[in-house]
Amino acid sequence: MGVHITRTQADVKPGESVVVFGAGPVGLLCCAVAKALGASKVVVVDINEERLQFAKKYAATHIFRSERVSAEENASRLIKECDLGAGADVAIDASGAEPCIQTCIHVLRTGGTYVQGGMGKPDITFPIVAVCTKEIHVKGSFRYGPGDYQFAVHLLAQKKVSVTELITGRVKFEDAEKAFEDVKAAKGIKILIEGPA
């Protein structure tokens, strides 16, 4: 998914600024792929400080902790704190959370690209006026498409992206329920469940 969202749908180019909302597995992979594609600035946004710190070590050049304020206020602060000038070139939502989706639109420069990768509520309040006045390119993303898998393998083989750091825990098959509880509580990134003995 990270390749499809970042390369195929967002079409990230060298030197671009990319803001990724959500520091879970998909968001982190989007950061790593954006960096591998030559993005000069990769900002990850989340509310979980532990995940933000992980993202900074993994692939993000900047981290931003969103607050419970309006989408416009969060976007304005993000642009200023991360030195995004007129706004980001690309914004990717990997969270599915309505406030993140709204902030994505407001953080973009005129003519920027927004890609929705996270699944959330089926219907949300969407800042359509901002999309129109800024002439934002809006794209959805669902799984992967032709060439994505091959490109992902290429990135791994060339060591441009690493995934081993994303595995932050392992549990025995008998303890699988604990793994699901930890994921729900946003503990760690990816937890592997070993097969039955």
Please indicate, yes or no, whether residues 171 and 82 belong to a single structural domain of this protein.
no
Please indicate, yes or no, whether residues 44 and 139 belong to a single structural domain of this protein.
yes
Beta bridge mates, 92: 20, 115
- Residue 33 phi, psi (nearest 5): -70, -40
Please indicate, yes or no, whether residues 98 and 171 belong to a single structural domain of this protein.
no
Please indicate, yes or no, whether residues 141 and 188 belong to a single structural domain of this protein.
no
Domain range enclosing 195? 166-197
Successive 10-residue mean pLDDT values, the chain, 197 residues = 95 98 96 98 96 96 95 97 98 96 97 95 94 97 89 95 91 88 85 84
| Model pTM score | 0.93
Domain count, the chain: 2
Please indicate, yes or no, whether residues 146 and 172 belong to a single structural domain of this protein.
no
In a domain, 161, yes or no: no
In a domain, 159, yes or no: no
In a domain, 57, yes or no: yes
